[in-house]
C-alpha cells in the first residue's frame, strides 16, 4: 500500500495499537499527525523524532476548539484514524452518571468530533479520503458487555455512528469504516490478566494491518463496515 504524499491523523497514536499503526503508516510513506495530551506520552513514543511524524499537543479530543485546531494544521488530509478512547469495568449498580458520561465522551464524542473535522478537512483537500473508527467486541456482541455496560454502550454508539456516517459521505468520495477489536495482546492487558491465553489474542500489528488497508487508497469499495478483529479469542 502506497501512502506517499498522504497526510494521516492518528488519535491515540502514542498507545500500543497506535504505535503499531504509525509504524506501518510511515513505512508505507505517510506523514502522520499524532495528537497527545500528556508529556509522558510524547517522551515514550518510539516515533517522536521521526521525520514523517508530527506530534501535536491537545488538551482534549472532546473539545471542539482543540479538535478544530488539530485538523486545521493538517495539509491536504487523506485519512483520519481514531484509536483514542477509554475503558471501565463496573457493575451497573456501581456505575455513576459521571462514569457513564465519561465513557460516552471518551469513546463516542471524541470519535464524532474527529470525524466531523476530518470530513470537512478531506472535503477542503478535494481528493476524497478515508476514516477509520474503533468500536469494540462488546459494542457488537452486547451480551459480552455484561459488567462493562457503560463501555459497551459507548462503543455500540461508535459502531452505529460509523455506519450512518459512511452512508452520508460516500458520494463525497469518503469511505468510513471501523474495526472492533477483542482484547488485544498488549503489555497492559497481559499484566491485568496474567492467566489468559495470550496466543489467542489479536496482536496489535495484525489489527494495524486491517486498519491500514481500510484507510488506504487500495480500499476502493469498503464502507460502513465494522470489522471484527478478534484473532482466535
Q: What is the CATH number of the domain that holds 146?
A: 3.40.50.720
Asked if the structure places residue 42 within a domain, the reply is yes
Asked if the structure places residue 172 within a domain, the reply is yes
CA dihedral 132, 133, 135, 140 (to 10 degrees): -60
Asked if the structure places residue 232 within a domain, the reply is no
Asked if the structure places residue 233 within a domain, the reply is no
Positions in the chain short of pLDDT 50 = none
pLDDT of residue 12: 98
Asked if the structure places residue 165 within a domain, the reply is yes
pLDDT of residue 233: 86
Number of domains in the chain: 1
pLDDT of residue 3: 98
Residues 6+ apart with CB under 8 A from 130: 78, 79, 80, 174, 175, 176, 177, 214, 215, 216, 217, 219
Asked if the structure places residue 1 within a domain, the reply is no
Give the pLDDT confidence of 41-80 residue by residue, as tens digits: 999 999 999 999 999 999 999 999 999 999 999 999 999 9
Q: What is the DSSP string of 197-208?
A: -GGGSPBHHHHH
Structural domain range at position 170: 7-227
CB contact at 8 A, 76 and 53: no
Asked if the structure places residue 48 within a domain, the reply is yes
Amino acid at each position: 500500500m502506497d501512502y506517499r504524499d498522504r497526510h494521516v491523523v492518528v488519535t491515540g497514536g502514542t498507545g500500543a495499537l497506535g504505535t503499531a499503526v504509525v509504524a506501518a503508516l510511515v513505512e508505507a510513506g505517510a506523514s502522520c499527525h499524532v495528537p497527545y495530551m500528556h508529556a509522558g506520552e510524547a517522551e515514550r513514543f518510539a516515533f517522536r523524532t521521526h521525520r514523517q511524524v508530527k506530534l501535536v499537543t491537545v488538551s482534549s479530543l472532546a473539545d471542539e476548539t482543540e479538535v478544530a485546531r488539530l485538523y486545521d494544521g493538517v495539509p491536504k488530509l487523506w485519512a483520519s484514524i481514531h484509536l483514542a478512547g477509554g475503558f471501565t469495568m463496573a457493575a451497573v449498580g456501581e456505575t455513576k452518571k459521571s462514569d457513564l458520561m465519561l465513557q460516552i465522551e471518551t469513546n463516542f464524542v471524541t470519535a464524532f468530533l474527529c470525524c466531523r473535522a476530518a470530513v470537512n478537512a478531506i472535503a477542503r483537500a478535494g481528493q476524497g479520503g478515508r476514516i477509520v473508527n474503533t468500536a469494540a467486541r462488546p459494542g457488537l456482541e452486547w451480551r459480552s458487555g455484561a459488567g462493562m455496560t457503560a463501555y459497551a454502550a459507548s462503543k455500540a454508539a461508535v459502531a452505529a455512528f460509523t455506519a450512518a456516517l459512511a452512508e452520508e459521505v460516500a458520494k463525497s468520495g469518503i469511505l468510513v469504516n471501523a474495526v472492533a477489536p477483542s482484547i488485544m495482546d498488549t503489555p497492559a492487558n497481559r499484566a491485568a490478566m496474567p492467566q489468559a491465553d495470550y496466543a489467542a489474542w489479536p496482536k496489535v500489528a495484525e489489527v494495524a494491518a486491517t486498519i491500514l488497508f481500510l484507510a488506504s487508497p487500495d480500499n476502493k469499495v469498503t464502507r460502513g463496515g465494522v470489522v471484527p478483529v478478534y484473532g482466535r479469542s
